[in-house]
Amino acid sequence: MSLRVGLIGYGTAGAVFHAPLITTTPGLTLRSVVTSREVPDGVRRLDRPDQLWEDHDLVVIASPNRTHVPLATAAVEAGLPVVVDKPFAPTVTEARALTDLAATRGVPLTVFQNRRWDGDFLTVKDLVRSGALGDVNRFESHFDRWRPAPKQGWRELPGRDEAGGVLFDLGAHLIDQALHLFGPVRSVYSEVRKLRAGVQVDDDFFLALRHENGVVSHLASSTLAAQPGPRFRVTGSASAYTKHGLDVQEAALKAGQGPGSPGWGEEPEQAWGLLGAAGETTPVRTKPGAYQYFYAAMVSVLRDGAPVPVAPESAIAALEIIETALASG
């Protein structure tokens, strides 16, 4: 029997990412969406989140950031497993309280960190763990955009409860990737800025994280990057890897494709990164992106009691860094 999923929110996160990934995952059925917008044929449109507390096996929260904690809390109290889109919570305190509640109730709780399954990140992960780079000393990760005119919407609203700005948005991904690769940090240096005229939240940041294992991560994102730099640059004692461009899965989802489409997650050869040293470099085939893994893992969680694909504790560790950066940047 297919597991019934209720989705809260049908903006970009819900319509572009969650709904297509849910509907293409064997064992899952998108039963309902809480939204004022039109929904796909065969899916119920509901007006209130509490209408999901019955006749569903999983709740996915893809609504504005300020609603993540109260909605997830209500779902957990109703005994329903929950996927929360990033950022997990506006504050570490709220994230810990929600995590503790889920643990006490015995309810699975996870965070949608889909960029752990970007093809370029999977390639970096493979190179780091295979020893192809030697001992890694620096991990550079950029996610730049050129949006000189601010977009209207809740991500531009001030106030900590809104969890707006690029640090909460893209920073949540970059920090999660760095922690996933290199583990806990012992120090954080930050530059968090508002560059565009009239903006009320940060639109540019740089973080330097010193991990406990000695690796330094330089993480940066800007919405005012007229010429984006490399997506990744990783240097080690034996070699370095440099990669330009973004993972292809988001663009494919926006174009109406999804897992199972021909060439899903495959990057063209001309976009592959380069591995080598001193001018002697070799292209490295980018591993196929695999966003589909997240919800396939959730099927195993619900049916077999497997671990969640992203532990909420890892999201708390990322939030601790965001809080430190905001306080000192």
What is the per-residue pLDDT across 277-310, written as a single tens digit (0 to 9) for each?
Answer: 988 999 999 999 999 999 999 999 999 999 999 9
Report the percent of the chain where pLDDT is more than 90.
Answer: 93
pLDDT band, residue 150 (cuts 50/70/90): confident
Separation of alpha carbons 74 and 264, rounded Å: 36
Q: Is the pLDDT of residue 55 over 90?
A: yes
Mean pLDDT of 151-169: 84
Separation of alpha carbons 326 and 200, rounded Å: 14
Separation of alpha carbons 208 and 227, rounded Å: 21
Topology adopted by domain 119-290: Dihydrodipicolinate Reductase; domain 2 (3.30.360)
Separation of alpha carbons 321 and 101, rounded Å: 23
What is the per-residue pLDDT across 97-112, written as a single tens digit (0 to 9) for each?
Answer: 999 999 999 999 999 9
> Residue 278's pLDDT is what?
84
Place of tokens 């497997």: 306
> Residue 106's pLDDT is what?
98
Separation of alpha carbons 274 and 305, rounded Å: 40
> Residue 85's pLDDT is what?
98
Mean pLDDT across the chain, nearest whole number? Answer: 96
Separation of alpha carbons 239 and 280, rounded Å: 10
Separation of alpha carbons 183 and 171, rounded Å: 16
Mean pLDDT of 167-173: 97
pLDDT band, residue 152 (cuts 50/70/90): confident
What is the per-residue pLDDT across 226-264, written as a single tens digit (0 to 9) for each?
Answer: 999 999 999 999 999 999 999 999 999 999 999 999 999
What is the per-residue pLDDT across 2-31, written as a single tens digit (0 to 9) for each?
Answer: 999 999 999 999 999 999 999 999 999 999
Alpha carbon of 51 to those of 15, 61, 69, 199: distances in Å? 19, 14, 18, 37
- Please state whether beta strands 280-284 and 44-46 pair in parallel, antiparallel, or not at all (unpaired): unpaired
pLDDT band, residue 157 (cuts 50/70/90): confident
CATH of region 3-112+293-309: 3.40.50.720
Domain range annotation of the chain: 3-112+293-309, 119-290
Mean pLDDT of 133-157: 90
Which token pair is 168? 């909460």
pLDDT band, residue 155 (cuts 50/70/90): confident
Q: Is the pLDDT of residue 329 over 80?
A: no
Helices (H), ranges, 13-57 = 19-23
> Residue 185's pLDDT is what?
98
150 close to 156: Cβ distance less than 8 angstroms:
yes
Mean pLDDT of 166-173: 96
> Residue 153's pLDDT is what?
77
The CB density around residue 42, as the number of other CB atoms within 10 Å, is 9
Q: Which residue has the higher pLDDT, 153 or 189?
A: 189
Q: Is the pLDDT of residue 269 over 80?
A: yes
Alpha carbon of 103 to those of 61, 225, 278, 303: distances in Å? 18, 42, 51, 18
> Residue 151's pLDDT is what?
81
> Residue 143's pLDDT is what?
96
> Residue 156's pLDDT is what?
74
